[in-house]
Amino acid sequence: MRMRAIFGCSGQALEAAEREFFREVRPWGFILFARNVRDRAQVCALVESLRETVNDALAPVLIDQEGGRVARLKPPTWCERPPAARFGEIFAGNVEAAREAVYLNTRLIAHDLTDLGINVDCLPVLDVPVAGADDIIGDRAFARDSSAVIALGREAIEGLLDGGVLPVMKHIPGHGRALLDSHKALPKVTTDVETLSAVDFVTFRSLNQCPMAMTAHVVYEAVDPHRPATLSPKVVRDVIRGEIGYDGLLMTDDLSMGALEGTLAARAKAALFAGCDIVLHCNGSLDEMREVASELKPIEGMVQRRADHALAHLSQPSEFDPAGAEARLTELLGTIV
């Protein structure tokens, strides 16, 4: 039986102790970072060895390949992709050109990922930044306008799915107002519920059929003044599952981030109790992963249904001309200098 976790690993090949741990714990999936990447052959071998530990040739292997400053696959081996805000700039002058560009961009990202055996991308970012917010989101967001984020986010989801990759919308229910970087500290948002609903939650509500979503380590004081969304039964129940109407597979952001307090075991226990389906631990520390594993639960019942439903979206990529797509994307990106 698989367990309700996604884990990273420490390097470019699995250590013996990591293999043993993954075989024993059998996490639902794995995530790769820049530290795990050297070249195509090495990444393919690592992906295969991760899946071998859980005896599942289709086990989810995730990556954050957004473009811009968040890209684990980098030149010269892989093409550099623009940040999301670039497409928002195009959207302001030509909506259809922007939509086409986002679709082609994510199809090309998916093409790179499927070539490596990676089948989940933590994309799109559906956060709506506001003036004065910390730059941790910044140009990773499409725009400061919710309608633009919705339109372009929809194209990103479709581009990945058509390319055989599962999208993960993030950071539900919205990270755009955070005044702090949640990698380092806990942001607290004081905005009223009505404004949050109209500006921040609406992007996720409009795209709530996305098969996977990642939570925000952000406190929304108008909803739950004591706990960040990841650890808040009230935010998960009333906002994510309630108002947003999200019934897909809900994973946490990284449990080792500085926004969260307490032991890793306590964080994992609280996130699962809050209603998250899967917990994420990224830094590859085996000692920390063992601590998280001490509080894991098996995937069953409603969580199994959501996991199965998410994986059911995986399919063989539709017909695609990468060279033609690159040329057309370059043309579209040139519409705004």
For 169-200, how does the pLDDT look when each residue is reduced to its tens digit (9 = 90+)?
Answer: 999 999 999 999 899 999 999 999 999 999 99
Q: 183, 238, 247, 309: which is the annotated catalytic residue?
A: 183
Mean pLDDT within 95-124:
98
Does residue 38 carry a pLDDT above 80?
A: yes
Mean pLDDT within 97-119:
98
Angle separating helix axes 16-25 and 40-54, nearest 10 degrees? 40
Mean pLDDT within 113-140:
97
CATH 2.40.37.10 fits domain 3-269+286-333: no
For 285-307, how does the pLDDT look when each residue is reduced to its tens digit (9 = 90+)?
Answer: 999 999 999 999 999 999 999 99
For 9-35, how does the pLDDT look when each residue is reduced to its tens digit (9 = 90+)?
Answer: 999 999 999 999 999 999 999 999 999
169 in helix, strand or coil? strand
Beta-bridged to residue 220, according to DSSP, are 189
Sorted by where each begins, the domain ranges of the chain are: 3-269+286-333
| Encoded tokens for 177 | 């107002």
Beta-bridged to residue 249, according to DSSP, are 212
Comparing C-alpha atoms, which of 171, 243, 239, 167 is closest to residue 209?
167
Average pLDDT, the chain: 97
Is this structure's pTM higher than 0.75? yes
Does residue 337 carry a pLDDT above 50?
A: no
Residue carrying the six token digits 């990468």 = 322
d(CA 84, CA 94): 15
Distances in whole angstroms, Cα of residue 72 to Cα of each of 170, 208, 262, 290, 313: 17, 26, 29, 25, 24
Confidence bin at 335 (pLDDT 50/70/90):
confident
For residue 4, the model assigns a pLDDT of 98
85 in helix, strand or coil? helix
Query: Cβ distance 13 to 44 under 8 Å?
Result: no
Query: Cβ distance 304 to 9 under 8 Å?
Result: no
**Catalytic-residue membership of 253:** yes
Q: 139, 253, 254, 277: which is the annotated catalytic residue?
A: 253
